């Protein structure tokens, strides 16, 4: 099992997700989605963040020049109204507009796996493909294969790896291909292998869903998982009641395990190398109440930190 704190921040603030419909693409207990790593729309999301940071940098330089001139050349000193207003205006606009841009305006460029129907789905047009209930190109999961390859060399001559999925009969289903975004910069191919293992495990209807933070609010929507949780008295909000500090420690531990895990050995000799799945994390990692103490940082300091991040980079 593995999870991301980013995923947690996105999903686990939903204290009650019972209003999510089983057929909704927001149902993380049925759908496992991956953004198309080669998607041009990512530039429309990441580009403004970079541009906002650049504008902020020039604004700071302009302010420093203005302060210097105010001391030594007050007769020519002029406040940099243009850069400051442009930076603040752009970052605040992007901060409020980007969620609307990502959710309602930009096309959804994703590959997602449907646990219930045992299918893989592409949100773009694919040759000779049937359509699912959402109007997306769909194929049986068994018709899809995954692989990874060396992607490029970094400046330090380090090899990185990329993961891909494709239809086994790609010649007749042109477009059924996508690069899958994996965690961080995968110089270790284990992250590619782990990502595909995560997909295969998600699609296994003989087992309940993996117990991870981003899935927790949706576990009741999967019948197998719901029965498992009931039989084992799983705490309903186990992850949501845990502190971020403790989850960061768990995530770091799991990342280290993935980095060093012998995937090839686990396939050829599972009795020696394969790890036993953690099905009851609440027993392995009891909630550490000492880490759940309230933050003593004054509210105004936390507020100023948030506002600074929003104004500087629009995030």
pTM (whole model) above 0.85 = no
User: What is the CB-side half-sphere exposure of residue 80 using CA atoms within 13 A?
Assistant: 20
Which sequence spans correspond to the domains of the chain? Answer: 5-39+107-304, 43-105
Please give the Cα distance from 265 to 282 (Å, whole number): 29
Average pLDDT of the chain is 83
Mean pLDDT of the region 243-266: 92
- For residues 304 and 1, the model is more confident at 304
Q: How many CB atoms lie within 10 A of CB 10?
A: 13
Closest CA to 51 of 86, 8, 15, 5: 86
* pLDDT given at position 269: 92
- Of 50-54, 112-116, 292-296, which gets the smallest average pLDDT? 292-296
281 to each of 35, 38, 215, 229, how far by Cα in Å?
Answer: 28, 35, 13, 12
pLDDT reading at 194 higher than 80? yes
pLDDT reading at 212 higher than 90? yes
* pLDDT given at position 298: 76
Mean pLDDT of the region 283-302: 80
Mean pLDDT of the region 259-264: 92
Residue 11 confidence class, pLDDT cut points 50, 70, 90: very low
Query: What are 133-168's pLDDT values in tens digits?
Result: 999 999 999 999 999 988 765 555 567 888 999 999
Please give the Cα distance from 200 to 228 (Å, whole number): 19
The two structure tokens encoding residue 172: 């007749």
The two structure tokens encoding residue 307: 């506002």
3-state SS assignment for residue 169: coil
The two structure tokens encoding residue 34: 């991956």
pLDDT reading at 7 higher than 50? no
* pLDDT given at position 96: 65
Query: What are 78-116's pLDDT values in tens digits?
Result: 888 887 888 888 777 776 666 666 666 666 688 999 999
3-state SS assignment for residue 168: coil
Mean pLDDT of the region 27-36: 91
Annotate 83-95 with b (16+ C-beta within 10 A) or e (fewer): bbeebbebbeebb
Closest CA to 214 of 40, 25, 21, 32: 32
- Of 41-45, 126-130, 263-267, which gets the smallest average pLDDT? 41-45
* pLDDT given at position 28: 93
- Of 6-15, 196-205, 266-275, which gets the smallest average pLDDT? 6-15
pLDDT reading at 129 higher than 90? yes
Residue 15 confidence class, pLDDT cut points 50, 70, 90: very low
Closest CA to 162 of 140, 195, 119: 195
Mean pLDDT of the region 166-188: 88
Of all residues in the chain, what percent carry a pLDDT higher than 70? 79
Of all residues in the chain, what percent carry a pLDDT higher than 90? 47
Residues forming beta bridges with residue 159, ordered by sequence position = 153
């Amino acid at each position: 099992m593995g999870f991301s704190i980013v995923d947690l921040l996105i999903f686990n603030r939903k204290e009650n997700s019972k209003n999510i419909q089983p057929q909704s693409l927001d149902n993380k207990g049925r759908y496992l989605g991956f953004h198309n790593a080669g998607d041009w729309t990512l530039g429309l999301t990441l580009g403004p963040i970079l541009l906002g940071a650049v504008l902020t940098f020039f604004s700071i330089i302009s302010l420093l020049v203005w302060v210097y001139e105010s001391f030594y050349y007050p007769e020519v000193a002029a406040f940099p109204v243009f850069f400051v207003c442009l930076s603040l205006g752009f970052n605040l606009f992007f901060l409020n507009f980007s969620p609307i841009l990502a959710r309602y305006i930009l096309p959804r460029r994703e590959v997602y796996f449907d646990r219930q129907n045992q299918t893989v789905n592409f949100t773009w047009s694919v040759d000779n493909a049937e359509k699912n209930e959402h109007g997306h190109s769909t194929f049986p999961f068994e018709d899809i294969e995954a692989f990874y390859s060396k992607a490029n060399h970094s400046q330090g001559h380090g090899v990185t790896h990329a993961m891909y999925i494709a239809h086994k009969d790609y010649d007749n289903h042109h477009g059924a291909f996508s690069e899958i975004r994996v965690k961080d910069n995968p110089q270790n191919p284990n992250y590619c292998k782990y990502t595909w293992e995560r997909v295969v495990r998600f699609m296994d209807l003989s087992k309940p869903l993996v117990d991870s933070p981003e899935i927790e609010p949706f576990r009741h929507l999967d019948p197998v998982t719901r029965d498992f949780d009931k039989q084992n008295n799983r705490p309903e909000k186990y992850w949501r009641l845990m502190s971020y500090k403790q989850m960061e420690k768990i995530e770091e531990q799991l990342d280290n395990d993935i980095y060093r895990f012998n995937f090839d050995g686990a396939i050829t000799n599972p009795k020696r190398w394969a790890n036993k799945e953690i099905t009851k994390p609440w027993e392995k990692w009891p909630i550490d109440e000492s880490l759940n103490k309230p933050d003593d940082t004054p509210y105004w300091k936390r507020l100023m930190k948030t506002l600074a991040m929003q104004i500087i980079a629009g995030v």
